[in-house]
Structure 1
Amino acid sequence: MNLKKYLALTRLGMMEKLHYRLGTFVTLFGNLIYLVLIYFLWKAIYASSGSDVVNGMTLNDTLVYLVLATALFNFLEVFLVWDMSREIQSGSIVLKLLKPMSFRNYSFWSYIGENIMSFFLTFLPTFIIINILTHGSIALSFNLLFFVLSVVMALVINFSIDMICATICLYTESTWGLNMVKECIVLLLSGASIPLAFFPESLRKIVQYLPFRCIYDTPLNVLLQKNGYTIGNGLLFSLVLQLAWCLALTAIGCAFWSVSLKKITVNGG
């Protein structure tokens, strides 16, 4: 593997992210409004419950989880489905397919650059501010090392799911509805919108084995060390499950792309 060319793509991705600074600030402003709404919503929920602890989580635990989940979403999000849909409709995808590099690798390493910049622009500042406001409630020990490992696998899983959905563009050419459904499913079943601790027991038993949980809930539980996430309890199982989904979704995505590429129809160009 020629690491130099992949690093060059990553650098280009970082530069592209910096080029659209206004878009980043608009996104941050929108997330700020979202977090304000989340605060008042969950404050009302806890007030109506008549208890300081609901499903094993205090209001502070819930808010910290959801704020970091939002920051993690901004950090890990890729727009491969939207980009591929536009490229197929315009015909510009042909230029990427002619490059001496697989389309998947080209896209992955390009988005890595954007993810790195999003980490420094959104997740890291949010993490520092939350830790200060909560007076150091987030432990800073071995969990950080496992968190980094978990986030890397979450990034691969998230990209693989997007890659599978984006490949469907080769058949439909328009994926607005598909992408909306995908976003809703991922945000709901990953715990990014509602902590999985609030799910019904029967549903939670199913969701904990799905790949969506591995994107947000697992890294956050590793970081916050909630739900018994220690080396001997829960942590090892979650990391192994993440690795299994990384390998499975990567294999499925590559196989689906190889088969679907033969059926590509390009418009425009």
Structure 2
Amino acid sequence: MLKKYLYVIKTQIIRSMAYEFNVYGNIIMQTIIMITSAYFWRALYKGQTMVGDVDVDSMLTYVIMSSILSVLFITNVERRIQNSVEKGTVAADLIKPINVFGVYFAEDIGNIIALVFQNMLPIFIIGSLMIKLPAMANLKDIPLFVISVIESFLINWLVAALFGMIAFTAVNIDALIQVKKHLLRLLSGSIIPIWFFPVGVQKVLEGLPFVYIYQLPLSIYIGKGSSVEYLSQMRIQFIWLVVLSVVFFLVQNKVIRKVMVQGG
């Protein structure tokens, strides 16, 4: 069974490598966002050493790494679900001897592997040359950062998959996907860290899974906190991962039963 998913990953890598225009477009767009954000934070910090217990160098590192993670967190599962529903092939997909959502996950993994070389490295180089070298604050926290990023990716994918299942009840979710994409980046601290938000808003956002997609791994990277604090937040991150996984499997089973009864 694993070989089937590995084949899907391999196929998706080859397919992703073929779309050069999309690669260049993504690099240009992320570079514009990254440089614009860097100028914004430099202007905000003008004449000030620290804002929100973070210095300007750390904030610029945050901006670069946020742009890099945004590439890592690209998902196509919503559109794959929508296309399957629109074409009426969802029932046929579900009866195949391989889990269709597993295929979507494998495709996203393959796409990300290709993007590491196509987008992430160029963005890292551009950010290093035009803004600053985004060096990690404490190298001893690398294991925590890596684990946190993996869990962040899984949470982000589960949120996207659950959102994509709206396609089973809605005619078209293209507009909703765009709203969800930008809203998630705002609520996750990708654009503006939530420590700049009012205390009441911070507490609300800390109770949601979104800050554990971007802000937690980025906070670990720039050293905003201690190892004890990171581990405490990563426990919450893991709890959200478990909760979303359970919800995903329950919704998936419900959707499969519904489609098989109605015939797609």
1:172 Cα deviation (Å)?
0.5
Q: CA deviation at 1:13?
A: 2.0
Q: How far apart are 1:56 and its partner, in Å?
A: 1.4
Superposed displacement of residue 217, structure 1: 0.9
2:6 is equivalent to residue 7 of structure 1:
yes
Asked whether 1:174 is paired with 2:159, we answer no
1:61-140 equivalent positions in 2, closer than 5 A: 61-127=58-124, 134=132, 137-139=135-137
What does 1:1-269 correspond to in 2, within 5 Å?
2-47=1-46, 50-127=47-124, 134=132, 137-139=135-137, 141-226=139-224, 228-230=225-227, 233-264=228-259
Structure 2: any 5+ residue segments left out of the alignment?
Answer: none
Q: Deviations over 1:42-92 (max 9, x none)?
A: 233233xx4232111222222221221121011111022122222211224
Report the Cα offset of residue 130 of structure 1.
5.1
Q: Give the drift of 1:210.
A: 1.6
Q: TM-score, normalised by structure 2?
A: 0.88
C-alpha distance in structure 1 between counterparts of 2:182 and 2:126, whole Å: 28
TM-aligned CA deviation for residue 125 of structure 1:
4.7
The amino acid that maps onto 1:7 is L
8 A contact 1:158–1:215 mirrored in 2: yes
Task: Give the aligned residue type for 1:19.
Answer: A
Percent identical residues: 25
- Measured at CA, do residues 208 and 158 of structure 1 come closer, stay the same or move farther in structure 2, by a change above 3 Å? same
Number of equivalenced pairs: 261
For 1:266 and 1:52, the matched residues in 2 are separated by 63
Give 1:136 shift. Answer: 6.9
Q: Deviations over 1:171-215 (max 9, x none)?
A: 103112322332232111111111122111121122223211111
Partner Cα distance (2:35, 2:139) in 1 = 30
Cα-Cα RMSD: 2.3
Q: 1:116-144: CA deviations, max 9, x gaps?
A: 22233333454466567646742462322
TM-score w.r.t. the length of structure 1 is: 0.87
List alignment gaps of at least 5 residues for structure 1: none
Q: What's the CA shift string for 1:8-58, capped at 9, x where partnerless?
A: 2221221222121221111101111222222222233233xx423211122
- Say whether the 8 Å CA contact 1:170–1:263 is kept in structure 2: no
Q: Match of 1:172, SS?
A: coil
In structure 1, what is the Cα distance between the partners aligned to 2:69 and 2:159? Answer: 16
Residues in 2 aligned to 1:214 and 1:135: alpha-carbon distance in whole angstroms:
24
CA distance in 1: counterparts of 2:133 and 2:23, whole angstroms:
28
Q: 1:221-246: per-residue Cα shift (whole Å, max 9, x none)?
A: 222222x132xx21111221121111
